[in-house]
Amino acid sequence: MGTKSILAGLALALLFSATSASAQTSKLDEVLARGHLVVGTGSTNAPWHFKSETDQLQGFDIDIAKIVAKGLFDDPEKVEFVLQASDARIPNVVTGKVDITCQFMTVTAARAQQIAVTIPYYREGAGLMLKADSSYADYDALKAAGSGVTIAVLQNVYAEELVRQALPEANVDQYDAQDLIYQALNAGRADAVATDQSSIAWFLVQQPGQYKDGGYGWSPQTYSCAVARGDQEWLNFVNTALHEAMTGVEFNTYAASFKKWFGVDLAPPKIGFPVEFQ
Amino acid sequence: MDLAQFFDILWSVRWPILSGIGVTALVSALAIIAGSFVGVFVGLALTYGVLPLRWLARVYTDFIRGTPVLVLVLASFYILGTIGLQLSAFQAGVLALAVFCSSHVGEIVRGALQAIPRGQTEAAKAIGLTFSQTFSYVLMPQAGRQIAPAWVNTAAEIVKASTLLSIIGVAELLLATQEVIARTFMSLPFYFHAGFLYFCINFSIERLGKYVEKKLAIPQS
């Protein structure tokens, strides 16, 4: 039995007591009275949540949490980060150890039965990264080469199937660790690596000019924060803070963070008729 | 892999890694000390306790020893919270490891005490020693020789089990190492480095155990 299933069982068992306890007053009032936001996140995944060289937490998830804190206290630094493994994301929300979890959580309907998911702040997907001087120009060239190309991918039950969805004939080499797939690419043992689009974007930001994006994304998944079920006011507040970060007054903060971690300039939302209804 | 580059990065992350070692050492030391202390009483209860107490100690040791440490860690962090005992991740981790340690030490102590011939206790009684005097002056010095090697084993297990606390966010050595790997993508050298540090910690415990064994040994003439 894996950690995940143990934790899922715990989470379900504790769901009832936790939801009934928070029914009286909103988490929003509790957080405001406390004076700082308690956010569950990780510390081992760049560019989402990881330690800087000065041992400070940084990343896109961290910036999202700070946007929520700024909405609450007009001060993005009034956040206490609680470190947690990915497996602990849902239990820590359900048991009230944290006010909110922002930790690249993929939204699934099954998870939404245990926690309330906020509006999305990023759409993740798989992508292909090649060396800048690769003989293959992009995704189409790799696909045209058929079984002549080798793709390095992080070992996973679904890894081979994932690559096959994009490149049905390619050879798939699986590696144990993220750094090993990059080494395979550098050593020429693989023609491209298949990994998260965000990882590719972060790699391109860090080592400009050495690599290129294959220009094709697939296998979409939505990243959202999570809060405890049964507190609509708190969920609404977080949704509002995130929504205004992507479309309203905090857009510049969101866009600066997006640029910093993914190297992409976002176009400001169109002024006039709200983009949401177009 | 460029060795100079590795040492360069290692030097730049010396403080987080050192603090990871500190947390690992502190968690392990607290758990081993508390667990050994409780464990001696569990062992006494298992060996000399009156029937209900012996039965209770038996259920405790069997239940704890039969549970994975990971489950104990998660239980003390999440389940104790729902009954009103809100422990921090650090406290919950120390508690779980101490409880785990106590069950093992309990069995070690029981085994050592039962290996002492009954005549020793009877002789102590005959010269009028109370039970606590019998225990401190007659039984424990003899049991200590049996306990020391097995205790080193358990202590090393606790140090290794402390890596599980990274799940609930205690920034011990493994988590500190993973944080470095997340930024540098150098998984093999840094995992190897962490493995070496764990070996050093456990080797020190082993040396300490050997020293205690030597102190307890019957002088050979």
Distance CA A177, CA A64 (A): 27
pLDDT at A9: 58
Q: Which residue segment(s) compose the domain that B25 sits in?
A: 17-216
Q: Which chain B residue shows the shortest CA-CA distance from A202? A: B183
E strand intervals along B131-216:
none
Mean pLDDT score across all residues of chain B: 92
Judge whether B110 lies within some domain. Answer: yes
Judge whether B35 lies within some domain. Answer: yes
Q: How many domains does chain B have?
A: 1
Judge whether B8 lies within some domain. Answer: no
H/E stretch holding B176: helix B173-184
Tens-digit pLDDT profile for residues A100-152: 999 999 999 999 999 999 999 999 999 999 999 999 999 999 999 989 999 99
Shortest distance between the Cα of A186 and any Cα of chain B, in A, equals 12
How many CB atoms lie under 10 A from the CB of residue A262?
Answer: 19
Residues of A in Cβ contact (< 8 Å) with B180: 51
H/E stretch holding B31: helix B14-48
Is the pLDDT score of A163 beyond 50? yes
Residues of B in Cβ contact (< 8 Å) with A14: 78-79, 82
DSSP tally for chain B: helices H, then strands E: 11, 0
For CATH 3.40.190.10, the residue range(s) in chain A are 3-115+228-277, 125-220
Q: Is A160 exposed, middle or buried (0-12, 13-18, 19+ CB in 10 A)?
A: middle
If you average pLDDT over residues B156-163, what whole number do you get?
Answer: 95
Whether the CB-CB separation of B12 and B73 falls below 8 Å is answered with no
Q: Which chain B residue shows the shortest CA-CA distance from A48? A: B182
Is the pLDDT score of A226 beyond 90? yes
Q: Tokens 């405890």 — which residue?
A: A228
Q: How confident is the model at residue B185 (pLDDT cuts 50, 70, 90)?
A: confident
Judge whether B202 lies within some domain. Answer: yes
Residue A261 φ then ψ, to 5°: -95, -25
Q: Indicate yes or no: CB of B175 within 8 angstroms of CB of A43.
A: yes
For residue B166, give the nearest of A10, A52, A85 by CB distance.
Answer: A85
Q: What is the CATH number of the domain that holds B200?
A: 1.10.3720.10
Is residue B85 within 8 angstroms of chain A, CB to CB? no
Q: How confident is the model at residue B55 (pLDDT cuts 50, 70, 90)?
A: very high
CATH topology of domain A125-220: D-Maltodextrin-Binding Protein; domain 2 (3.40.190)
CATH topology of domain A3-115+228-277: D-Maltodextrin-Binding Protein; domain 2 (3.40.190)
Q: Tokens 């415990």 — which residue?
A: B205
Q: Which chain A residue shows the shortest CA-CA distance from B78? A: A95
Which residues lie below 8 Å from residue B20, measured CB to CB, with a gap of 6+?
A: B171, B172, B173, B174, B175, B176, B177
